[in-house]
Structure 1
Amino acid sequence: MARQLRGPLHPDKDDTEEECVQEEDGDRDSEFVDAEELCSGGIQAGSLPGRARVSIPDELTKEQCPVRGRFPLLGPWWRVKVRVVKPVRSKIYQAQGFPSYFLQSDMSPPHQKNICSLFLKECGYERRDEFLKWVERVSSYEKLNFENLPDTLRRFDREPGEKNKGTPTENEQDVRRLPVEESFPFVCVMTALKFPKVMEFLPTLFPRHFRRLIGSSSEEVLQRIEEALGTHPWKLGFRRVTYRQMKLLSCEASWTAFSQCPSLLQLMTPLQKNALVVYAKLRQTCREDGHTCVEVEALTSAVAQNMSFQEACESLEFMKDLDVVTYEKDCVFLSELYQAEQGIASSICDLINRPPWHLQVDVKKVLASISSGKPEDSRRAEAAEGSEPDGMGLAQGESVADPQDGGDHVRIDGDHEMSADICDVPLDQDQVVALEMICAKAVTVLSGKGGCGKTTIVSHLFKHVEQLEEKEVQQACKDFELDGDASEEWLAFPKQSPAAVDKAIDVLLTAPTGKAASLLRQKTDLPAYTLYQVILDSYPVLNLATCCRMFLRLLRQEGVPLN
């Protein structure tokens, strides 16, 4: 049975905190972060805190309760409120969700000395023992608390001794900050004094942002969050709003998280609550079904148990005014997904409208090499074995470059035999059409079920193009070597290494996923990466639309034609 515990937070000395890990959870989905947001200096999400075992003396029952859960902050100077449940046949409670934090600011007797000592140890204060003796001699801890601790430390650091029993002067208060004040535990305590609502609600609302927020010392951001929690907590439920007003990246509180904070729900109007419910259902549907939009009728039906049709429509209008959603015909989009989709479409149209490229490749020859089960190199090697050796074979194997020929530019002895073989090999007409489109268009979309040959035909095509380029270079070298009028400098020129020949043409393959890129790399022996890696490896969280726009902008600046 679930219950709520309130009391001081005592870490278990025998328990070691687990490593913070990025776990999959229901509220975590693919992030669409625009370049503007990424470069704005906003606070990004971190990992969930590791699980730890703590002891909480319940203030109501006085029971010493061992609890295991995710506690982003530890220390006996914190009081927590957390919901727990005890599994059957277990002596340890399991925390449900995240705790709320409250600072024990008064350090009241009889434990104030121990709390102060543990706190300064956690902060890494080297003169802790000297300071504690000085405080005991000066005031016997009667007036020591977290509010005056910074001034007390400065007094001790500036003029330690009996003469500093009095109240510090203004000049003493204005001295520079001590190194201990920059430590994370010290910053957290000072944040709790200024922003108590942040400490109470943010561990539940923003579990991945909480530690970075309180440790960032960004008082302006924390002040805005504190004000929102006190007046308009619904704003924290929409990432578009939290970014515009608080510079938080991909940060929003889920409806489930709000449901664990009844005092915040009391500050919301029915319209704001309904908007959060509709928004949660819209995000869930887009994530689970892979859509960028949902039909209005389907969305309103999905939330019919929570509100009427009219209330759902009013909620959508409310979110539209906030630029959280966008309408198009009878569909409602999440604004960030709509912008990403429009950006991708615009970039692809830009590519399509540019002058087309032309790969001079005989696609039937490529497909024939696939169907025969032999690469073209081995076919040509077999053809070469039947030719005359030395001079005769070389004369018959001279390349013929025909600018009017629509097939491959380089033809080697035995090609006429392979052309005859092509007629005997049954070809898949869909694959023929697909390769012809790839050779003629800058943008081609291949679709088909698994195993139909999409990766195979693409990999063979570009391997074929690479071989043509390599053989053209090799044939040109042979022609120059056989030229009687060639200069001595050319004849003395060192031959290219195989590695140099291999780099005669650079082919870079991209794929939408890492698995697909790995498959392309294995089948082609060519470099293959994901779109994110190719376009902007330093910023893997950029969305595809942003990558396309930045890539096209770069090409225009460099004057590179896409043909």
Structure 2
Amino acid sequence: MSLPKRSTLLEQTITGYILPNNEDDDVEDEDEEEEIQTEFLDMKEMNSVSSGAKMFKFSVPASKEGILVSFMANDEKCRVWGRFHLCDPWWEVTCTVRRCNKHKFSTIPSSYPSYSLRTNLSSEDHSLVSLFLKACGANPGFVMSFMDFLSKNRHVVELINVLDALQDFEDSGPENRAKAKELYLNDLSTLFFNAEVIAWTHVEVARKYPQIMKYLPTLLPGQFMDIIKQQSNTHIMFREFLMIRCEAKLEAFKVCNLLSRMTEEQRNGLQLYANLKDYCRDTGSTYIEQNMLLEKMQQWKIEDAGYSFLHKHDVLKLENNKVALHNYFSYEKGIAECLRALIEGESWMIHLDVKEVLQRAAMERLNEMGHGDLNDSAIELDKDHVRAAEMICAYPVTVISGKGGCGKTTLVSLVFKKAMEKQTSKSDSDEKPPVEVLLTAPTGRAASILTKRTGCTAYTLHQVLWSFMNRKKEENANLQEWKFSKVRVLVVDEGSLVSVQILHSILSLLTKHAELKKFIFLGDVRQLPSIEPGNTLYDLFEGFRKVRWAIEMQTNHRSESELIVRNAGIRYSPLEFDATINMRNPSTVPSDKRFIFVKISENHDGKRDCQLINELCCKHYSGHVTKTHNNKIHFQVGDKVCCTKNGYISETDNENMQEEPAHDVAGMSQDIPRTQRKNEQKQVKKERMCNG
């Protein structure tokens, strides 16, 4: 198919094959990495994985610019910018694009290229078969003999029947059979059906399941490559196919024109499911009132059959005239059941004189500040602290809210340190006590701050979950020896960031596989909740405040955060700026201005917004641009860099390198592998860069 002529349409479809990179020198390079997304599973999914279910790695290929596509009719070439899963020249690639200029296109964001094996190859295209065999790891001598055989016999072979041609070569005579055994030293099928030969596995999938190569890159772009590299007998949608977290979006079905192949009931169900997920994400709610849902369905033009379809397949749950997606319902119900088990279970009363503990701690702080001349009577305790400490000692569940600097984490660590000291003093054992108080937070940064403020090791919630799963995977694993099996107290900080899924998972785990007796939930109910549906901190705070198991701290005790706390309580009003810069029409930053409002793009493209911020700041503060002439990122020492995700920056440490005498190096290099010598010559330091 030839390159389509210039069209007034915004989108058009082009088909061709991708040239190898070394066939074109004029290809722009881009410092963009493959996008790998970490999936955090709930407990049910984790148990399924340990029982044999398959979780595929989510990895979207990096965008590439300057990929040349040669079209078969006129051999015209154009440059396409897009995300290509497969770039080998034996793939026929079909993609929907928008024209950037005469010879350059860009794939549309919602669509990924589809793939099929190239067919109707002439005898001159034997080089394609040769490239494929080399990619499969075949012996070069064997490949040469096989290609000679094809030329002499004028054998037209395509990748779809290459295995048959290889067998014909082996069966063509004793000499070729001997060559195959001598040069290849293996049975043909052994190599090509080896799961490690990725090139052959991909071709086998395309030969047997062409629809997968056509639709799956768009339906499941993140899991596509991991799925097609599996062996044919691998157990592959959870419940039916043992696949976890493989959910295609409604937009992907539309792009693939697959909705017309579904029944009306399925179409309405899929549309309703997508709209309900959007509703929950936009409102932050985990359910919708049934009457409101019926009104919404009329607005969305979705028939009742869609609701019936989802209800029949247990996707929706109806209770007390509230409709919820099943997973959200199960998470919240699971949290309630875990908390009920704590409340009704064996209680643990901590016998502490909390006023004395708080008073001693206050005296120690005053002594450190040089005010040791004050006596106990001069110290006025925070009434909220006293009440919160009493709750922690007496009740199985305590929810504490307060702005930063109110002393939530300090109070909790103080109470349990004293409780552990009291318990240790009664014990005669010299053994290291097990982890009984587990400090956690939803993010690595929050856990790091929690560790710093309490002086005790804090973990992320996901670290706790994965430590259990790793233990469970061990052969003959004894879960009673799990690191956190003796935990009696769970403390979760930054509760406003905790989703219903992760809270359900951690509570389920510790109530079943640990000795959990107390749950302390900390946070600020006035902060924005988790980006996931559900507001666990607010809901639990409001619920437990009715029985006086929840308290809000009012006083800030951290002087450096006083202004932040004060501002957090002020009602929002528009801010006044010294200057305004519109990034759609950039201008220089006035040198005498300090409080500047920067208007970013209106397309809500976080990655592009981040690039614009870096361009502006580097130019203004550091006096240089962010990219070199060949489009390479060029950050320098001292730059303040805005990033959208966490990552590591590698730095080669050459300071300790010493030059060896020439004769020593020459003598050693013959015996030491090149990679080993390279590793010995330099060390790589990795600094973690956190988003922000």
Give the secondary structure class of the aligned counterpart of 2:222.
Answer: coil
Question: Is residue 200 from structure 1 mapped to residue 209 from structure 2 by the alignment?
Answer: no
Give the secondary structure class of the aligned counterpart of 2:86.
Answer: coil
Instruction: Give 1:299 shift.
Output: 4.3
Q: 1:251 corresponds to which residue? A: 246
Q: Mapping of 1:518-529 within 5 angstroms?
A: 518-529=448-459
Question: Is residue 82 from structure 1 mapped to residue 95 from structure 2 by the alignment?
Answer: yes
Of 327, 339, 349, the residue aligned with 1:348 is 339
CA distance in 1, matches of 2:363, 2:275: 51
Q: Which moved more, 1:68-77 or 1:459-468?
A: 459-468
CA distance 1:137–1:344, shift in 2 (3 Å): same
1:7-64 CA distance string (max 9 Å, x none) = 22324335579542226xxxx9965452343223324242112223422234578641
CA distance 1:218–1:283, shift in 2 (3 Å): farther
Residues 5 and 81, structure 1, Cα contact 8 Å, conserved in 2:
yes
CA distance 1:261–1:501, shift in 2 (3 Å): closer
CA distance 1:35–1:284, shift in 2 (3 Å): same
Structure in which a larger fraction of residues adopt strand: 2
CA distance 1:22–1:44, shift in 2 (3 Å): same
Instruction: Give 1:469 shift.
Output: 5.8
Q: Which moved more, 1:94-103 or 1:178-187?
A: 178-187
Give the secondary structure class of the aligned counterpart of 1:73.
Answer: coil
Residues 20 and 89, structure 2, Cα contact 8 Å, conserved in 1:
yes
CA distance 1:162–1:379, shift in 2 (3 Å): closer
Give the secondary structure class of the aligned counterpart of 1:55.
Answer: strand
AA aligned opposite 1:46: F
Q: Mapping of 1:37-186 within 5 angstroms?
A: 37-39=48-50, 40-53=52-65, 54-58=67-71, 63-87=76-100, 91-96=103-108, 97-106=111-120, 108-127=121-140, 128-142=142-156, 144-154=157-167, 156=169, 177-182=189-194, 183-186=197-200
Of 503, 513, 516, the residue aligned with 1:554 is 513
Residues 102 and 200, structure 1, Cα contact 8 Å, conserved in 2:
yes
Instruction: Give 1:349 shift.
Output: 1.2
Structure index of larger Rg: 1
Question: Is residue 286 from structure 1 mapped to residue 280 from structure 2 by the alignment?
Answer: yes
Q: Mapping of 1:353-368 within 5 angstroms?
A: 353-368=344-359
CA distance in 2, matches of 1:184, 1:69: 22
Q: 1:228 corresponds to which residue? A: none
1:333-385 CA distance string (max 9 Å, x none) = 22122222222221121111122212222222344356x474498699969xx
CA distance 1:113–1:98, shift in 2 (3 Å): same
CA distance 1:304–1:10, shift in 2 (3 Å): farther
Structure 2: state its 5+ residue gaps. 1-9, 178-185, 471-498, 519-692
Among the aligned pairs, what percent are the same residue? 30
CA distance in 2, matches of 1:196, 1:527: 52
Of 454, 457, 461, the residue aligned with 1:531 is 461
Question: Is residue 452 from structure 1 mapped to residue 406 from structure 2 by the alignment?
Answer: yes
CA distance 1:315–1:52, shift in 2 (3 Å): same
Residues 315 and 326, structure 2, Cα contact 8 Å, conserved in 1:
yes
Give the secondary structure class of the aligned counterpart of 2:112.
Answer: strand
Instruction: Give 1:332 shift.
Output: 1.9
Question: Is residue 218 from structure 1 mapped to residue 232 from structure 2 by the alignment?
Answer: yes
Give the secondary structure class of the aligned counterpart of 1:56.
Answer: strand
CA distance in 2, matches of 1:41, 1:9: 35
1:290-322 CA distance string (max 9 Å, x none) = 4332333444555544305xx1x4312210101
Give the secondary structure class of the aligned counterpart of 1:147.
Answer: helix
CA distance in 2, matches of 1:38, 1:336: 17
Instruction: Give 1:429 shift.
Output: 2.7
1:371-413 CA distance string (max 9 Å, x none) = x474498699969xxxxxxxxxxxxxxxxxxxxxxxxxxxxxx
Residues 354 and 390, structure 2, Cα contact 8 Å, conserved in 1:
yes
CA distance in 2, matches of 1:214, 1:135: 31
Instruction: Give 1:205 shift.
Output: 0.3
Instruction: Give 1:147 shift.
Output: 3.4
Instruction: Give 1:532 shift.
Output: 3.1
Structure in which a larger fraction of residues adopt helix: 1
1:239-272 CA distance string (max 9 Å, x none) = xxx222222111111011111012x122123332
1:147-198 CA distance string (max 9 Å, x none) = 331233345467766677xxxxxxxxx9672324431111111111111111
Give the secondary structure class of the aligned counterpart of 1:66.
Answer: strand
Residues 13 and 96, structure 2, Cα contact 8 Å, conserved in 1:
yes
Instruction: Give 1:65 shift.
Output: 1.5
CA distance in 2, matches of 1:501, 1:195: 60
AA aligned opposite 1:282: L
Give the secondary structure class of the aligned counterpart of 1:93.
Answer: strand
CA distance in 1, matches of 2:359, 2:170: 84
Structure 1: state its 5+ residue gaps. 165-173, 223-241, 384-416, 478-495
AA aligned opposite 2:59: S
Residues 40 and 462, structure 2, Cα contact 8 Å, conserved in 1:
no
Q: 2:45 corresponds to which residue? A: 34
Give the secondary structure class of the aligned counterpart of 1:444.
Answer: strand
Of 316, 320, 323, the residue aligned with 1:329 is 320
Instruction: Give 1:67 shift.
Output: 0.8
CA distance in 2, matches of 1:30, 1:331: 27
CA distance 1:293–1:132, shift in 2 (3 Å): same
Instruction: Give 1:113 shift.
Output: 0.8
CA distance 1:508–1:176, shift in 2 (3 Å): same
Q: 1:440 corresponds to which residue? A: 394
AA aligned opposite 1:153: L
Give the secondary structure class of the aligned counterpart of 2:401.
Answer: coil
CA distance in 2, matches of 1:11, 1:300: 55
AA aligned opposite 2:241: M
CA distance in 2, matches of 1:441, 1:349: 13
Instruction: Give 1:446 shift.
Output: 1.7
Q: 1:273 corresponds to which residue? A: 267
CA distance 1:163–1:375, shift in 2 (3 Å): closer
Instruction: Give 1:82 shift.
Output: 0.4
Q: TM-score, length-normalised on structure 1? A: 0.71
Question: Is residue 307 from structure 1 mapped to residue 292 from structure 2 by the alignment?
Answer: no
CA distance 1:153–1:120, shift in 2 (3 Å): same
CA distance in 2, matches of 1:29, 1:294: 27
CA distance in 1, matches of 2:449, 2:329: 31
CA distance in 2, matches of 1:287, 1:111: 56
CA distance 1:368–1:163, shift in 2 (3 Å): closer
Residues 53 and 243, structure 2, Cα contact 8 Å, conserved in 1:
no
